[in-house]
Chains A and B, each alone.
Chain A
Amino acid sequence: MTILLVLALLFYLAGAFYAIILFAAKAEKRNGHLKTLITVGFIVHSAAIAVDWWQLGHFPIVNPKEVSSLIAWAIVAYYLGMSLRYQARALPTFLLPLVFIFTLASLLIQTPDHPLPQVLEGAITASTVTQIIFPAHVILVILSYAAFVMTFVSGVMYLIQERDLKAKNIGGAFQLLPALNTCDEMGYRSLTIGFVLLTLGVATGIIWNNQRDGRYWHNDPKEVMALVTWLVYLFIIHYRLTAGWRGRRVALLSIFGFLVVLLTWLGARTLGGYHVFG
C-alpha cells in the first residue's frame, strides 16, 4: 500500500530530523514526542504491510522492494522493544536515518516484472508446511538483521564514547550517548538475539532447501556468506564467554560482523546464484 508507506516514510523523516536536532541541541529534553512520532510511523508502516499482505494473498517478502520495507519495519520494532529497557536517547539519532533509507529504497525500487521469482512459486502456494517454512525463513533472517543493526549502532556509539573518554573530552553533542557499559550490554544482547534468530533462519532455510529439491546446501554465494556471518558472530560470542572479551574489541568485531551481513544481503546478489530475492 504505497500511500501508507509514504506516510510512514514522512513520520520517519520527521523523526530523524527531530532526533538529530535534539541531539545537536543536547537539550535535556525527554524524547517522549520523538517516541510518539516513531510509534505512529511504526503503526502506519505495519498497516501498509498488512494491507499488502491482504491484497497479495501472501506475506510480502518475495522481492527487494518488500524486503527493504520489512527490514526498516523490523529495525523500528526492535528499537521500540529496546527502548523499554534502555534509556538510550541517542539511539533514534543513529537508527532513524537507516530506517528512512530502507523505507525510501522500498518506495523507489520497482516491483519486478515477475513479482514472484520462479523458485518461490511453490513456496508461497504449495503445501502447508512449505507455506510456513519459507516465510519463517525470511522473517527470522530479517529480524536477525534488525538485531545486528542494533549491535552495529551500539558498537559505533561505544567507539565514539570510548574515544571521547580516552581523549578526556566529555562535553559536546556526545553527552547524550549512552554510557559505555550500556552500549556494550545493548550491543551484546542484540548480538545474542540476532545470533539465535540467524541460526533459526539458516536452519529453516536448509529445511526449505531440502523440501524443494532434496538438497540441503547449494554452495550458493548467499548461503556461503550467511555461514561466514554466522561464524563471525559465533566467534565473538565464544571469546566473550571464554576470555571475557568486551568493550572496544567486541565493538570493532560487531562492526565487522555487520559489514559481513551487508555483504551477505546485498553483495551476494552481485555474485550470482539463485538466492537473489530480497
Chain B
Amino acid sequence: MAIVLVGLSHKTAPVEVRERLAFSESRISSALEMIVDRQTVHESVLVSTCNRVEIIAASPRDMNAAETVSYLYRFLREFHQTDHDLIARHCYDYTDLAAVTHIFRVTSSLDSMVIGEPQITGQVKEAFQLAQEAQSVGHNLTRLMNRAFAVAKRVRNETGIGSSAVSISFVAVELARKVFEKLQGSTVMLVGAGEMAELAARHLLNYGAGRLLIANRTFENARRLADELGGEPVSFDDYEKRLPEADILLCSTGATSYIIHPDQIRRALGARRNRPMLLIDISVPRNIDPSIGSIDNVFVFDVDDLESIAESNRTERQREAERAEAIITAEAERFLISHAEGDLNAVIGALRKQAAEMAFAELERSRKRLGHLDQNQEEALETLVNAIVNRFTQPMIRKLRESEDGHSSILEAWKDFYNHDGRK
C-alpha cells in the first residue's frame, strides 16, 4: 500500500486560497466518498483547518504514485471548481516516506504557524474520526494515523516544544503562574487600559484569575472595559487605595514618568502581609519605578523583559523543534519499514496459501485413482504434499525476506506471475 498526500498550508498559500480550497465539515464525508474510488485510492483522510488542507490517501502498491497524485489534484480541482494554475502554484504533494514524515510533522505541530501550538493534534484527530464515520479508512490509514497521534504525544512528552509562552501576553500568564501556581482566587488590577494590558488581562482571566479591577484616567473607558471583561471599574484617584488587593498589577498608561513608587508598594505589601505581588509594566515610557524590583516579595517586569523572555522561549522552542524533527524522522522510517514488512508478510502468506491450495487441489483430482487409504496413509500423503509445497516456496520466501524494502523485483515478478497483489 502506498501513502500519498496532497495539500496546502499557511506556508504555501495565502488565506484567500486556503478559504477557497477548504472543506466545510458538512461536505467532508461526501468529499471522502468521492476520493475513495477503490481503484486509485482505497482509503483516505481529509484534514481541513483554517491553516491547512491535507488529503491523505492510501493507494494500491502497483499504482504509480504520480498517478495517484494527479488523481488527487484532479479531485481538488473538480470539487472546488478552480483552475489548474491556482492548485499548481499553492499545493504540495508527498509520497511514501515524505508523506508519512509530513503527516507526523503536522500532527506534532511542527508545521504550525506557531510551532508547538496544541490545537492541531486535536483537529487531525477530529478529521480522522470523520473519516472513520464516513468509512473511508481501513487498516492502513488507521495504523498510520494512530501512529501519528502516538508520535505527537511522544514529541510533546519528550521535548519542551509546547511548554513555554512565546507571546508577550502569555509570558505575563507564565510569570503569574511562576509566582502563584494557580491563578484561581487571585486579583488582577489594570492601571491604564492599553491594548496589550487588556490582552494579558484576558489571558489571565482565561487561566482562572478571580477578580479584575480596572483603573483608568478616563473613567468611562474603565467602565466600558470592565463591562466587557466582567471586571470592576475603579476611579483613577482610588487606585492606590485598592493596590493592596492586587496580586497582579498590569500597568499601561500614557504617563511620561513613574506613577508607581516604592513606598506605595511597601505600604501595599504591609497591608497584604507580604503576600507576593507581580507588577507588569507594559507602558513605554515605563510607569513602574524599576527600583521596586529590589523589594522582597515583589517582582517587576517591563515590556523589554517580557519580550526577551518570549524571544528566548522562541529560541528554546526552535531548539526543541529540532529534537522533535529527529524523533519524527526516526518514527517515520520505522513506520515504513514495519508497513513494508506487513506488505511482505501478506505476500508470503498468499504465496504459501496459493501453493498449498494448488497442491491439495491436485491431490483431490487424483484421489479416485488412489483408492481407499487408511488413517496412516492419509497422514503420510498430507505430510508429503506439505513438504513439497514448503520445499518449493522456501527459497522464494528467503529471497523475499532478504530484499528488505519488501517490494523488490522478485515481489513484483511474483505479483505479475500470479496476477496477485498479495492482499486478497
Contact = CB atoms under 8 A, between A and B. Distances in A.
A182 B183 CA distance: 12
Given A165-B299, A168-B305, A179-B180, A26 B163 contact: yes
Interface string A14-38: 0000000000011111000000000
B273 A244 contact: yes
Interface string B267-289: 00000011110000000000000
A247 B309 contact: no
B108 to A, nearest CB: 13
A180 B160 contact: no
A170 B174 CA distance: 9
A242 to B, nearest CB: 10
Interface string B148-176: 00000000111110111000000000110
Given A165-B179, A170-B178, A249 B157 contact: no
Q: Interface on chain A toward B: helix, strand, loop, or mixed SS?
A: loop
Interface residues of B, number: 30
B312 A171 contact: yes
B160 to A, nearest CB: 5
Interface residues on A, range: 20 to 34
Nearest to A248: B296
A245 B270 CA distance: 10
B179 to A, nearest CB: 5
B264 interface: no
A179 B299 contact: no
B178 A29 contact: no
Contact of A181 (B179, B305, B312, B313): B179
B360 interface: no
Interface string B307-325: 0110011001000000000
A243 B179 CA distance: 21
B181 A178 contact: yes
7 contacts: A28-B157, A165-B299, A166-B293, A168-B305, A180-B180, A181-B181, A248-B297
Given A166-B299, A179-B177, A244-B274, 9 more contacts: A25-B158, A27-B159, A28-B162, A28-B163, A168-B308, A170-B174, A171-B316, A180-B179, A246-B275
Interface of A: 25-29, 161, 165-166, 168, 170-171, 175, 178-182, 244-249
